[in-house]
């Protein structure tokens, strides 16, 4: 029996080793082992400095604010006012609404700063208390998301998305409660916390203190709990977000791997691109690239919001996409990077997998609900208009070749941009003409419309006859280099490898994907 157990342990170790080697070996074969290791370390370092410490600051401020609300009876007031709404929708006491408000104004971990207060947690049964992780996350950074969407020229759509996020929150919270009770039925009647005699004496002593002392103690004690929570989220953010991002992003702007932060193999967008018909029906997404938003929102909704201006400029985004982005961005709001740490901070790490599963389903429901509510809205009231400065300013022209116009001896005009061709620069250098051409082709890649396999010229020339022959030859070489870098970028996105490493069948598939032609 002992020998059999030893072999089982060895099998588990071998299986674990094969998985780790398979995952990182596959990533390393695309990026190169040194680049992969550098990217992992630099991404984690940047997340620590620019994400974790930011979240810690939020935790400190909201922890202090939550302590003030608890200290001076705001919690009890909300419990009385909102009890009729919270119980039927979320199966939570009315006081939980304070957590929704605080996460809406800040971020997911704010709910933990509040939950760490014993006086707050006494309102909950244990299964309800644990489900606060899902409940609070569904409203995380909601104000930021809505304001950002409005700033992009959309007004009705973000509020449709807000309703979708609330529906997703109901599903996620109640599903999590069901999962908990199925595994731990005793949690149904077990209180989350009980104020002991010491707590009650301390509470009475505090209330006998002066107003200034009560405010100061509440602020400092709440802020201190925020520091503890901020420290506890570090492992989840660094490990899970780094892994998600390396599977989501591709090469840097130069089209090659150089070990910079936030590079990756582009596996998840490629995967969703293969089954985009599903997301077209469920979410109304017309372009597989839009799936980059929910994928990125898994790790950080702030990073996902940064994708939207580019999507709008490409002409991929409509009102439906904004509604869906708002719903899934709020509901998920980086839950993969915070759920583990949040449950660990509450002392229920063993339920992490159940919380993640429930919230994954809740986020998908939020997105689907937002899509179909937007469809119903447009049927009833027509398509919502964008106000001035919105999406209309990003209009693009389809079926137009890239025009390069001779301006002067060493200047050319690409679209609306005048470029000075510096002598001696290389196509890969930032700002080179080749990089400009690559950027124009990439920005038009999904917006051009071709029929029956026809392609459009990658470059058309105006006043080229004014150029000396040597200049024309140099110009054509730069355009060829830009076209080649563009093809490499698309190849990396779809196959995870540059053009030079593709098989004959993959080259034929790439030729079908690319809508441009270039003939020197």
272 backbone dihedrals φ, ψ, rounded to 5°: -70, -25
Between 293 and 464, the higher pLDDT residue: 293
Name the band, by pLDDT with cuts 50, 70 and 90, for residue 175: very high
Token output for 65: 């604010």
How far apart CA 129 and CA 172 sit, in angstroms, is: 14
Which residues sit opposite 418 in a β-bridge?
A: 413
Answer whether 482's CB lies under 8 Å from 437's CB: yes
Give Cα separations from 119 to 176, 192, 372, 455 (angstroms): 23, 10, 41, 67
Task: Compute how many other C-beta atoms are within 10 angstroms of the C-beta atom of residue 391.
Answer: 20
Which residues sit opposite 406 in a β-bridge?
A: 412
474 backbone dihedrals φ, ψ, rounded to 5°: -65, -40
Most confident of 158-162, 231-235, 428-432, 465-469: 158-162
Name the band, by pLDDT with cuts 50, 70 and 90, for residue 326: very high
**Mean pLDDT (whole number) for 173-185:** 93
pLDDT of residue 158: 92
Average pLDDT score over the chain: 78
pLDDT of residue 90: 93
Ranking 41-55, 203-217, 395-409, 422-436 by mean pLDDT, the lowest is 395-409
**What digits encode the pLDDT tens for the residues 445-498?**
766 666 666 777 777 776 666 667 777 777 788 888 888 888 888 888 778 788
pLDDT of residue 160: 95
Answer whether 483's CB lies under 8 Å from 518's CB: yes
Answer whether 130's CB lies under 8 Å from 352's CB: no
Answer whether 132's CB lies under 8 Å from 115's CB: yes
**What digits encode the pLDDT tens for the residues 27-43?**
988 888 888 999 999 88
DSSP letter string, 433-445 = HHHHHHHHHHHHT
Work out whether the CA dihedral 85, 163, 372, 269 comes out positive or negative: negative
Most confident of 226-235, 327-336, 338-347, 469-478: 327-336
Report how far Cα 308 is from the mean position of its chain's Cα atoms.
11
Cβ-in-10-Å burial (0-12, 13-18, 19+) of 389 comes to exposed
Ranking 10-19, 219-228, 414-423 by mean pLDDT, the lowest is 414-423
Answer whether 427's CB lies under 8 Å from 488's CB: no
Give Cα separations from 345 to 223, 235, 341, 352 (angstroms): 15, 12, 6, 11
Give percent of the chain above pLDDT 70. Answer: 78
Answer whether 395's CB lies under 8 Å from 384's CB: no
How far apart CA 135 and CA 244 sit, in angstroms, is: 23
pLDDT of residue 398: 46
Answer whether 479's CB lies under 8 Å from 435's CB: no
396 backbone dihedrals φ, ψ, rounded to 5°: -125, 160
**What digits encode the pLDDT tens for the residues 367-401?**
999 999 999 998 888 767 555 444 443 333 345 66
Token output for 297: 């929102």
252 backbone dihedrals φ, ψ, rounded to 5°: -75, -170
Answer whether 177's CB lies under 8 Å from 131's CB: yes
pLDDT of residue 198: 56
pLDDT of residue 395: 38
Q: Is the pLDDT of residue 230 over 80?
A: no
Between 234 and 369, the higher pLDDT residue: 369
Task: Compute how many other C-beta atoms are within 10 angstroms of the C-beta atom of residue 57.
Answer: 14
**What digits encode the pLDDT tens for the residues 294-307?**
877 877 776 677 66
Most confident of 146-155, 343-352, 354-363, 456-465: 354-363
Ranking 333-337, 383-387, 430-434 by mean pLDDT, the lowest is 383-387
Q: State which H helix or E strand residue 516 sits in.
A: strand 516-517
Report how far Cα 370 is from the mean position of its chain's Cα atoms.
17
How far apart CA 440 and CA 361 sit, in angstroms, is: 38
Q: Apex CA 231: angle with CA 225 and CA 232, to 5°?
A: 90
* Helix residue ranges, H only, 32-141: 33-47, 53-71, 74-90, 96-105, 110-115, 118-121, 126-130, 132-137
Give percent of the chain above pLDDT 90. Answer: 14
pLDDT of residue 388: 46
**Mean pLDDT (whole number) for 267-285:** 75
**What digits encode the pLDDT tens for the residues 113-140?**
777 777 778 888 889 989 988 998 888 8
Most confident of 263-277, 341-355, 411-425: 341-355
The HSE-up count of residue 217 (CA atoms within 13 Å, CB side) is 15
């Amino acid at each position: 029996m002992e020998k059999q157990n030893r072999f089982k342990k060895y099998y588990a170790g071998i299986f674990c080793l094969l998985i780790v080697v398979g995952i990182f070996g596959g990533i390393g074969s695309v990026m190169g082992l040194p680049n992969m290791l550098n990217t992992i370390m630099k991404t984690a370092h940047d997340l620590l400095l620019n994400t974790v410490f930011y979240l810690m600051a939020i935790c400190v401020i909201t922890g202090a604010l939550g302590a003030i609300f608890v200290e001076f009876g705001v919690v009890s007031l909300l419990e009385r006012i909102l009890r009729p709404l919270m119980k039927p929708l979320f199966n939570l006491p009315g006081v939980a609404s304070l957590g929704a408000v605080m996460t809406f104004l800040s971020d997911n971990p704010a709910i933990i700063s509040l939950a760490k207060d014993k006086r707050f947690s006494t309102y909950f049964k244990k299964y309800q208390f644990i489900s606060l992780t899902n409940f609070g996350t569904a409203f995380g950074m909601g104000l930021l998301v809505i304001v950002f969407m409005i700033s992009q020229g959309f007004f009705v759509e973000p509020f449709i998305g807000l309703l979708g996020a609330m529906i997703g929150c109901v599903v996620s919270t109640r599903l999590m409660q069901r999962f908990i009770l199925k595994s731990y039925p005793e949690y149904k009647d077990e209180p989350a916390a009980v104020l002991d005699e010491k707590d009650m004496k301390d509470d009475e002593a505090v209330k006998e203190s002066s107003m200034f002392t009560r405010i100061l103690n509440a602020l400092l004690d709440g802020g201190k709990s925020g520091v503890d929570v901020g420290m506890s989220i570090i492992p989840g953010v660094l490990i899970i977000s780094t892994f998600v991002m390396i599977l989501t992003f591709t090469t840097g702007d130069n089209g090659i791997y150089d070990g910079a932060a936030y590079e990756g193999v582009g596996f998840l967008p490629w995967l969703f691109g293969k089954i985009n018909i599903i997301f077209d029906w469920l979410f109304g997404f017309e372009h597989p690239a839009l799936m980059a938003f929910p994928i990125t929102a898994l790790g950080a909704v702030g990073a996902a919001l940064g994708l939207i201006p580019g999507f709008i400029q490409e002409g991929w985004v409509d009102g439906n996409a904004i509604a869906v982005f708002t719903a899934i961005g709020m509901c998920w709001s980086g839950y993969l990077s915070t759920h583990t740490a949040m449950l660990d901070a509450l002392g229920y790490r063993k339920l992490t997998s159940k919380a993640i599963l429930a919230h994954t389903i809740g986020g998908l429901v939020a997105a689907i609900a937002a899509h179909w509510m937007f469809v119903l809205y447009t049927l009833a009231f027509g398509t919502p208009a964008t106000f001035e400065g919105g999406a209309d300013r990003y209009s693009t022209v389809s079926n137009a070749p890239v025009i390069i116009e001779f301006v002067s001896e060493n200047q050319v005009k690409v679209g609306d941009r005048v470029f000075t061709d510096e002598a001696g620069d290389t196509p890969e250098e930032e700002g080179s003409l080749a990089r400009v051409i690559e950027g124009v082709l990439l920005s038009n890649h999904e917006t051009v419309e071709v029929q029956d396999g026809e392609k459009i010229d990658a470059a058309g020339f105006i006043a080229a006859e004014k150029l000396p022959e040597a200049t024309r030859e140099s110009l054509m070489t730069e355009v060829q280099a830009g076209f080649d870098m563009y093809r490499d970028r698309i190849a990396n996105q779809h196959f995870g490898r540059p053009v030079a490493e593709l098989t004959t069948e993959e080259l034929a598939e790439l030729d079908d994907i690319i809508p441009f032609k270039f003939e020197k």
